[in-house]
Amino acid sequence: MAVSAGTPGIGADEQYTPPELVKIVVKRYTEAGFSIAVNYPYSGCYIPNAVWNGRSSCDCIGIMLEHHKRIYCDDQRRPIPGKIAQIRNIIRQIITDCVELRRQ
């Protein structure tokens, strides 16, 4: 896939990012008209040190959403309200999908 700075990226971790979560994120971004890259330009995601080091036994999952400013800013680097609202709505849909997935 050709990836540009206008492509959102997903950072996923084999241990902490369930494949179902990656599928949900990819689905929601592609439905909104975006191309999306998994583990590009960055790979992995942030996990609290206590979980990473085994000091906490919490059930933790993680994913990183990377948005270059070209996705939501104009040429003068000013935020475009409609683009920010679009990204906000995508993230809300992802959260709703995750809640629904958890209920199953």
As given in the structure block, the two tokens for residue 90 are 């995508």
As given in the structure block, the two tokens for residue 65 are 């959403």
Per residue in 47-82, pLDDT (tens digit) is 887 787 777 777 788 899 999 899 999 999 999 999
101 confidence band (pLDDT: 50, 70, 90): confident
Q: Are 50 and 56 in contact (CB under 8 A)?
A: yes
- Residue 31, pLDDT score: 95
Q: List the 9-11 sheet strands across, edge first.
A: 37-38, 9-11, 64-66
Distance CA 41, CA 36 (A): 11
Q: Are 92 and 32 in contact (CB under 8 A)?
A: no
5 confidence band (pLDDT: 50, 70, 90): low
The partner residues of 15 in beta bridges, in order of sequence, read: none
